[in-house]
Amino acid sequence: MPGFAHAMPIEGFVGGLMIGIAAAIMLLGNGRIAGVSGIFARVLGLSEGGPPWTMALLFTVGLPLGAALVAANFEVAARFPTSLGLIAIAGLIVGLGTRLGAGCTSGHGVCGLSRLSPRSIVATVTFMASGIATVTIMRLAGVAL
């Protein structure tokens, strides 16, 4: 399997299909939205709602472990083009945005859009536009992505 720089459309399709199936299993099996930020907030004790704490912890731990398992068994090229400090700051800003927007890309973009939630449509358009604007500004400024 080629790295991200040479990803084929079928890999994106399969990945998207797996995310959709996982979201459907979570919703149909547990009656809960698979919003990663909400589940992570539950682990940190910032949210009382959502899945039981143990389930939230296992879900949260499984995300990086699953990625590590794929990276260990397939040729996956991952790189971080900036400093860890900047990544941490960006993560905090994203976390703040998910709290302000009452959800993240998985909750709004996958689960909310599939339910035709008006709130999720607005949130998804907002974070997609923000992402596009950020990449455009960075490229115009000459920042390597």
Based on the domain organization, do 89 and 64 belong to the same domain?
A: no
Based on the domain organization, do 69 and 107 belong to the same domain?
A: no
Residue 80: the pLDDT is: 63
Based on the domain organization, do 33 and 87 belong to the same domain?
A: no
Using CA atoms, how far apart are residues 129 and 118, in angstroms rounded to an integer? Answer: 17
Based on the domain organization, do 93 and 59 belong to the same domain?
A: no
Residues 6+ apart with CB under 8 A from 43: 53, 56, 57, 60
Based on the domain organization, do 62 and 11 belong to the same domain?
A: yes
Query: Structurally, how many domains does the chain consist of?
Result: 2
Residue 118: the pLDDT is: 92
Based on the domain organization, do 59 and 116 belong to the same domain?
A: no
Based on the domain organization, do 31 and 70 belong to the same domain?
A: yes
Based on the domain organization, do 51 and 116 belong to the same domain?
A: no
Report residue 49: phi and psi, to 5°: -80, 175
Domain final position from 79, 99, 131: 79
Residue 1: the pLDDT is: 42
Based on the domain organization, do 1 and 55 belong to the same domain?
A: yes
Based on the domain organization, do 1 and 37 belong to the same domain?
A: yes
Based on the domain organization, do 60 and 70 belong to the same domain?
A: yes
Structural domain including 99 reads 81-145
Give mean pLDDT in consecutive 10-residue pieces for the chain, a chain of 145 residues: 56 80 82 79 81 86 83 72 78 80 79 85 89 89 75
Based on the domain organization, do 143 and 91 belong to the same domain?
A: yes
Query: For the chain, what's the residue count?
Result: 145
Using CA atoms, how far apart are residues 81 and 31, in angstroms rounded to an integer? Answer: 39
